[in-house]
A and B are shown apart, each in its own frame.
Chain A
Amino acid sequence: MDENTLLEKINETGYMLYQNREQEGIAAVAELLPVFQNMIKDQTESQMAEGGAFALMMLRELLEAYQSQDILGMADCLMEKSVLFVQFYFRQSEK
């Protein structure tokens, strides 16, 4: 998934969650979680050194909110942290 597609997907999911469209939103988060996991796994050493801790924190927060069915927790994590992580990841990959 390229950066724009992924950012759009994050945005759409955030909207669904803020709108309390629970089932759709949670299903969309379930699709995003493995994408983020793979991105973190595939990070280069320099990416890990620069943003690894943030990426792991983002993933843990999203996973916890997902497991607790915390709708706003998921939405906020996506809009605040996942967006930054994705932007960071693709910028670093371009380098």
Chain B
Amino acid sequence: MGIFEDNIAALEKKYGYLAEKINNVDIDSAGKRIGVEQAANGMKILRVMKVGRSWRLNSSWNPEIAAEVYAERYTLRSYGIYFVFGFSDGRYVRELLKKCDDTNLIVVCEPDMETFAIACRHFDISDLIEDKRLLLYFTELEIDADVMLQKLLDYTRIKLIDFYILPGYDVLYHKVCESFMDSVIERMRNEIVNKATHLFFDRCVPRHTLFHMRRLIYQRNLEQLKRALSVYDLTEIPAIIVSAGPSLDKNVHLLKKAQGKAFIIAVDASIRTVIRAGALPDMLCSIDPNSPERFFEGLDLKDVFWSCTRLSNPDITENYAERIFYHGYFSKEWNKILEEELGYPFPKLASGGSVSFEAFMLALYLGFRKIVLIGQDLAFTGGVSHTKGIEGALGDNDEYIRGRHIVEVEGIDGTMLETDFQMWYYKQWFERAIRINQDAVRVIDATEGGAKIEGAEIWRFADVIDKECKQELNIYEIEKSIPQAFSPEKQQELLKKLRAMRQVVTDFEKLLEKTIAEQEKRLALVSDRKTNPREVLHMLKEMSAENEKIKKEPILELVSMYAQKEEYEMGDSIYTEEDLNAGELVEKSLALLSGYRRGAALLKEDIDEYIMKD
């Protein structure tokens, strides 16, 4: 086999889809822009034509030495994840890999797939493709880097991340490079925010998850609605997302005119204002775990379709939501079971923390390509926090604003407005989602106030109604025709499967007890100075194997939700404190296992409350 065939064979093993893409690259066309030349030492290097100049992607003097010198700059540490922008001919990455151990991961972001295709024809890079410590990512194949980053980065690793750029790549591919770096930084920020959220909500997240795991058996899911809508042309039907910002009071009275001509999504607190304006939304999106009852009390919501996830407040959904379209992730095992029963993956949306963002992703998921925002101030317009409709559910307006961490943002009219950090963060998410989906969706901000959202067109809501809500489509009736996702027999089976989880937790508790007892014995031994270092090392290896076994238990996913504090504490230290002695390592392991033991007991209590009761 030749170089190309070897490389393609390696790609097929690890990235099947990529091998096909590389095979399909039009080399004649790519060859007009990208070529190979000989360096002074006789080696091949890549060159790219851009802005009337030929740019070499490695040294024309000595590409091997250049790659060695480049890698010399960096000190790689255990468990580090290194994002490398640019692949070139693979020599730089090969040098970096020489400095890696088995705990490292190098993620290479290559902004130009044609360059990689040419590289595959001239350089033997099969060793790199096959290397388990290397992951290739192509911006052209997956525009949203976060999809990949979510799988790689968790809180425990964010202190171990570094970003490297190959020479010339940041000049040649400046925007892509900046966007990729921003994605990594944003993921890191999200992990930090997630930590704060998890610790804040504590036991509430797993409890809500269990509640909805059961409730969804008797409900519908978003994929059903998507399929029902797929027979209609939604091009001219806008989705109107109604948020609870203060500007909603200016134009909510027009909303009724859009009914039957748009897909109206009311977001949590906005529902009071929407109902009072005489409109009936096609969907009420409610995902906030602490959504106050006062948002909904006194309203007749029987005819409303809800969109909920595992986080949604169970009390609210129990008391007010009769018909729910579920979506999201519950647990790996439960989603797998649902997928098997449904014959399709349980629908999941990218989450951005705010319920408005969830509504945005929901509209996109369902196939709407024109999204209109109203009440989406993302700022304290006129010094007011929310629509009047919420009737002080969040307490005194001024006191509420004073209690927030205030930052300034540009308003739609160019003036500066006060907002809080949370809304500023949501604004970033919106802007990013608009940017990523700019070819697929048109976003109109008809809030008529509030913060300027980059990428959104600014309109008056009256003009939206006149110009964009012309075609009739009764989505509400379509929703009504959608039955529960499972037949009564299937519902019984699913409940049985869910209830079997209790025994799994009991078995897991036994495994934990046994492991903790073993590790307590070890702690005494490693603390004893008479134990020789070889024995200590052997014991640490055994401990690591035991912990790996526990990590592989699927139920740990739910148990660990009750041991967030212990997990984050472990994450804060275990990879970064390089001078921990054997005793300290065992102590840390024991602290985590004890956290899991406590978590398993709490999980069982909650299973009894939410799953086992008739």
Report the separation of the CA atoms of residues A15 and B73 in the bound assembly, to the nearest whole angstrom: 10
Which of B55-63, B98-106, B110-118, B573-581 sits within the interface?
Answer: B55-63
**Would you call B350 an interface residue if the criterion is a C-beta within 8 Å of the partner chain's C-beta atoms?**
no
In contact, A75 and B73 (Cβ under 8 angstroms): no
Measured CA separation A71–B164 after assembly (Å): 15
Contacts of B168 in A (CB 8 A): 20, 70-72
Give Cα A19 to B69, complex, Å: 6
Known: A18-B167, A20-B167. A73 touches B69 (CB 8 A): no
CA separation between A37 and B72, bound complex, in Å? 32
A70 touches B55 (CB 8 A): yes
* Known contacts A17-B167, A19-B72, A21-B73; is-contact A73 B61 (Cβ 8 Å): no
CA distance A23 to B47 in the complex (A): 23
Considering only residues 46-77 of chain A, those with a C-beta below 8 Å from chain B are 68-73, 75-76
Q: Is the CB of A72 within 8 A of B70?
A: no
B160 is an interface residue with CB less than 8 A from chain A: no
Bound-state CA distance A42–B73 (Å) is 37
Output the residue of B56, B58, B72, B164 with the most chain A CB within 10 A: B56
CB distance from B406 to the nearest CB of A (A): 35
Does A40 touch B at the CB level, under 8 Å?
no
Residues of the A chain whose Cβ atoms lie less than 8 Å from the Cβ of B57: 72
Q: Are A19 and B73 in contact, CB atoms less than 8 angstroms apart?
A: yes
CA distance A79 to B59 in the complex (A): 10
Contact B61 A76 (CB under 8 A): yes
Set of chain B residues within 8 Å of A17, measured between Cβ atoms? 167
In the bound complex, residues from chain A placing their C-beta under 8 Å from that of B40 are: 80
Alpha-carbon gap, A91 to B165, bound state (A): 39
Q: Closest chain B residue to A83 by CB distance?
A: B61
- Taking A76-B56, A76-B60 as contacts, is the C-beta distance between A18 and B70 under 8 angstroms? yes
The docked-state distance in angstroms from the alpha carbon of A17 to that of B167 is 7
B159-177 residues with Cβ-Cβ distance < 8 A to A are 164-168, 170-171
Residue B66 lies at the interface, judged by CB distance under 8 Å to chain A: yes
The one of A21, A70, A73, A75 that contacts B66, using a Cβ cutoff of 8 Å: A75
CA A68 to CA B53, docked complex, whole Å: 9
The listed residue with most A CB atoms (<10 A of its CB), out of B58, B69, B70, is B69
Given contacts A18-B167, A19-B70, A69-B171, contact A76 B59 (CB under 8 A): yes
Q: Which residues of B contact A19 (CB under 8 A)?
A: 69-70, 72-73, 167
Main secondary structure of the interface of A (DSSP, over half): helix
| B52, closest chain A residue (CB) | A68
In the complex, A80→B39 CA distance in Å?
11
- Interface size on B, as a range, is 20 to 34
Given contacts A18-B59, A19-B72, A80-B61, contact A72 B53 (CB under 8 A): no
**Nearest-CB distance from B50 to chain A (Å)?**
10
Name the residue of chain B whose CB is nearest to the CB of A75.
B59
Q: Residue of A at shortest CB range from B171?
A: A69
Q: Which A residues from 1 to 45 make CB contacts under 8 A with B?
A: 15, 17-22
Question: If the complex has contacts A70-B168, A71-B171, A73-B55, are A18 and B66 also in contact, measured as CB distance less than 8 A?
Answer: yes
**Is B56 a contact of A20 with CB atoms below 8 Å?**
no
Contact flags B34-66 to A (C-beta < 8 A → 1, else 0): 000000100000000000010111111110011
How many whole Å from B166's CB to the nearest CB in chain A? 7
Residues of A within 8 A of B65 (CB): 18
Which residues of the partner chain B approach A68 to less than 8 Å between Cβ atoms?
53, 171
In the complex, the answer to whether B72 meets A73 with C-beta atoms within 8 Å is: no
**Given that A20-B166, A20-B167 are contacting pairs, would A72 and B66 also be in contact in the complex, using a CB cutoff of 8 Å?**
yes
Q: Is the CB of B171 within 8 A of A20?
A: no
Rounded to whole Å, the gap between the CB of A67 and the closest CB of chain B is: 10
The 8 A CB mask of B192-206 against A (1 = contact, 0 = none) is: 000000000000000
Contact B171 A15 (CB under 8 A): no
Query: From residue B377, how far is it (CB to closest CB) to chain A in Å?
Result: 41
Cβ contacts under 8 Å, B69 to chain A: 15, 18-19
A79 touches B56 (CB 8 A): no
Closest to B39 in A: A76
CB A60 to nearest CB in B, in angstroms, measures 14
One of B72, B165, B167 near A72 (C-beta < 8 A): B167
Q: Which residues of B contact A20 (CB under 8 A)?
A: 70, 73, 164-168, 170
Task: Give CA–CA (A21, B164) in the complex, Å.
Answer: 11
Min CB distance, A78 to chain B, in Å? 9
A69: B residues at CB distance < 8 A: 171
Q: With a CB–CB cut-off of 8 A, which chain A residues contact B166?
A: 20
Q: Please, how many angstroms separate the alpha-carbon atoms of A73 and B170 in the complex?
A: 14
Inter-chain CA distance A73–B327, complex, in Å, is: 52
Q: What residues on A are CB-neighbors of B53 within 8 Å?
A: 68, 70
Distance A70 CA – B55 CA, assembled complex (angstroms): 7
Which residue in chain A gives the minimum CB-CB distance to B73? A19
| A73 CA / B55 CA spacing, docked (Å) | 8
Residues from chain B with a CB closer than 8 A to the CB of A73 are 55-56
List residues of B whose CB falls within 8 A of some A CB: 40, 53, 55-62, 65-66, 69-70, 72-73, 164-168, 170-171
Considering the complex of A and B, which 9 residue pairs feature the smallest CB-CB distances, nearest first? A19-B73, A18-B69, A20-B167, A71-B167, A79-B61, A76-B61, A18-B66, A76-B60, A80-B61
Q: What are 25 A-to-B residue pairs whose CB atoms are below 8 Å?
A: A15-B69, A17-B167, A18-B66, A18-B70, A19-B167, A20-B73, A21-B73, A68-B53, A68-B171, A70-B53, A71-B167, A71-B171, A72-B55, A72-B57, A72-B60, A72-B66, A72-B167, A72-B168, A75-B66, A75-B167, A76-B56, A76-B59, A76-B61, A79-B59, A80-B40
- 16 more A-B contacts (CB under 8 A) besides A18-B69, A76-B56? A18-B65, A18-B167, A20-B73, A20-B165, A20-B166, A21-B73, A70-B55, A70-B171, A71-B168, A72-B57, A72-B66, A73-B56, A76-B60, A79-B59, A79-B61, A80-B60
